[in-house]
């Protein structure tokens, strides 16, 4: 049963199941005559061989309102890139593939490195950043949506609902974030959101005091979702993280650049499941351990830019406050799981909390060791200012790759 709740900060658009997918898509098709829509799909080559992406492509192929699709392809050699072009031909919408490991795009990346403008590490953030650059270079879409390629429970209704708030001309939303319950296989998932982000925001509020930014972040039902959509004017000035902090970083940028009245979150699904990361208890460079450190650093750096001071004593207090809040959250989740007949493992939940608490101190140490670390990839406006013809070079290089492999 859908609820009517609003948090008073960002608008929450519910799905009461009173409008069919066909009805939503019919409206989007009408909107598309004046407001072209472009979808970005950042993916790894390995995802082409999984179970999720073939279904995603099949579902997208049923839609008629999309103008274009940009696919960011990572970790693919030449033969694998050719396989990818064949794979995505199943789409019935025009598409463009950015072969990020190809010689043409690597050459362009080197040009950016020479100007200290390139993303400083590989990963989803870098992939998304180049895809956004391609969307700006194409300059045809009025609205752009992005989602992950490992969603096992994907259906085309998710995509329609993700686009709708930023495409409907009556709405004033510049940005839309998806949310959903992370329930699959009779258990609660979403450990980083449940056991890190939620109690960390509570702990930050207790440690450094209330702030508009923390209230804004707390208003999102699932701040780590990889599904969001924008109107075109958002893209040139958007700063994003190159690491696992991308989702938090994008929300932080929206809070900085727009009024809450221009931001919404939308109910995308009743159930949602995707590829799960290992906790990685003994290797902080992998899995949820790496993700948690990146997310904590993103929060700290954002709050520091707002004038908040973080001493080593602050981090000790933050860790202790977080740990107590997280344990309290576990009790709540246990009750929720029991009420709904879900499996619940208190040991693994507390194990995750203990790791995240340790990683608060590791993130704090990194904050002190690397005070000049730049948290975001440069905006595309800055790139255009430094290298005026770079977007044309990107567009031409991608076009040549697509001609060579199509």
Which tokens is 292 given?
A: 């948690």
Domain membership of residue 5 (yes or no) is no
Which tokens is 24 given?
A: 């939503």
Domain membership of residue 244 (yes or no) is yes
Location of structure tokens 């950015």 = 98
Structural domains counted in the chain: 1
What is the pLDDT at residue 284? 84
Rounded Cα–Cα distance for residues 331 and 78 (Å):
51
* Residue 248 Cα to chain centre, angstroms: 8
Domain membership of residue 252 (yes or no) is yes
Model-wide pTM > 0.85: yes
What is the pLDDT at residue 372? 67
CB atoms within 10 A of CB 389: 9
Cβ–Cβ < 8 Å for 140, 43: no
Domain membership of residue 232 (yes or no) is yes
First to last CA, the chain: 46
What is the pLDDT at residue 122? 86
CATH number at residue 127: 3.90.550.10
Which tokens is 112 given?
A: 């950016």
Cβ–Cβ < 8 Å for 176, 266: yes
Domain membership of residue 170 (yes or no) is yes
- For 74, the enclosing helix (H) or strand (E) is strand 68-74
What is the pLDDT at residue 1? 44
Which tokens is 12 given?
A: 């929450």
Give φ, ψ of 163 to 5 degrees.
-75, -35
pLDDT tens digits, the chain, 406 residues: what are they?
A: 457 889 889 999 999 999 999 999 999 999 999 999 999 999 999 999 999 999 999 999 999 999 999 999 999 999 999 999 999 999 999 999 999 999 999 999 999 999 999 998 888 999 999 999 999 999 999 999 999 999 999 999 999 999 999 999 999 999 999 999 999 889 999 999 999 999 999 999 999 999 999 999 999 999 999 999 999 999 999 998 878 889 999 999 999 999 999 999 999 999 899 888 888 888 888 899 999 999 999 999 999 989 999 999 999 999 999 999 999 999 999 999 999 999 999 999 999 999 999 999 999 999 988 876 766 899 999 999 999 999 999 999 999 999 877 6
The alpha carbon dihedral of 14, 269, 242, 86 has a sign of negative
Domain membership of residue 4 (yes or no) is no
Location of structure tokens 């002190």 = 368
What is the pLDDT at residue 375? 67
Domain membership of residue 245 (yes or no) is yes
Rounded Cα–Cα distance for residues 227 and 128 (Å):
12
Boundaries of domain holding 293: 11-405
Please report, for residues 18, 23, 160, 248, 263, the alpha-carbon distance to residue 5 in angstroms, rounded to integers and kept in the order given: 17, 24, 22, 23, 16
Domain membership of residue 187 (yes or no) is yes
- For 114, the enclosing helix (H) or strand (E) is helix 103-114
Rounded Cα–Cα distance for residues 148 and 166 (Å):
19
């Amino acid at each position: 049963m859908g609820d009517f709740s609003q948090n008073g900060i960002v608008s929450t658009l519910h799905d009461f199941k009173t409008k069919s997918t066909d009805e939503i898509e019919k409206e989007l098709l009408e909107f598309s005559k004046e407001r072209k829509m472009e979808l970005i799909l950042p993916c790894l080559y390995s995802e082409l061989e999984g179970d999720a992406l073939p279904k995603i492509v099949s579902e997208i192929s049923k839609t008629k309102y999309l103008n274009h699709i940009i696919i960011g392809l990572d970790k693919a050699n030449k033969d694998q890139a050719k396989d990818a072009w064949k794979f995505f031909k199943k789409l019935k919408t025009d598409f463009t593939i950015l072969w990020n490991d190809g010689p043409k795009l690597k050459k362009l990346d080197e040009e950016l490195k020479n100007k200290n403008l390139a993303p400083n590490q590989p990963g989803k953030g870098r992939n998304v950043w180049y895809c956004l650059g391609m969307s700006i270079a194409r300059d045809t879409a009025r609205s752009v949506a992005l989602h992950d390629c490992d969603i096992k429970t994907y259906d085309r209704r998710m995509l329609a609902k993700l686009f709708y708030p930023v495409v409907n001309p009556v709405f004033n939303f510049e940005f839309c974030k998806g949310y959903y319950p992370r329930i699959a296989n009779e258990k609660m998932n979403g450990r980083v959101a449940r056991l890190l982000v939620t109690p960390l925001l509570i702990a930050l509020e207790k440690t450094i005091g209330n702030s508009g930014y923390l209230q804004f972040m707390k208003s999102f039902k699932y701040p780590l979702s990889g599904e969001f959509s924008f109107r075109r004017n958002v893209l040139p000035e958007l700063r994003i993280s190159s690491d696992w902090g991308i989702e938090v970083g994008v929300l932080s940028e929206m809070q900085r650049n727009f009024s809450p009245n221009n931001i919404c979150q939308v109910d995308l699904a009743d159930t949602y499941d995707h590829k799960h990361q290992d906790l990685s208890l003994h290797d902080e460079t992998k899995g949820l351990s790496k993700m948690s450190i990146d997310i904590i650093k993103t929060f700290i750096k954002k709050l520091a830019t707002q004038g908040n001071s973080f001493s080593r004593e602050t981090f000790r207090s933050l860790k202790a406050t977080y740990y107590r809040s997280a344990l309290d959250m576990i009790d709540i989740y246990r009750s929720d799981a029991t009420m709904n007949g879900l499996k619940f493992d208190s040991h693994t939940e507390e194990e995750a909390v203990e790791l995240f608490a340790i990683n608060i101190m590791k993130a704090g140490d990194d904050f002190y060791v690397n005070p000049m670390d730049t948290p975001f990839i440069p905006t595309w406006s800055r790139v255009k200012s430094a290298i005026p013809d770079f977007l044309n070079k990107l567009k031409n290089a991608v076009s040549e790759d697509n001609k060579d492999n199509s």
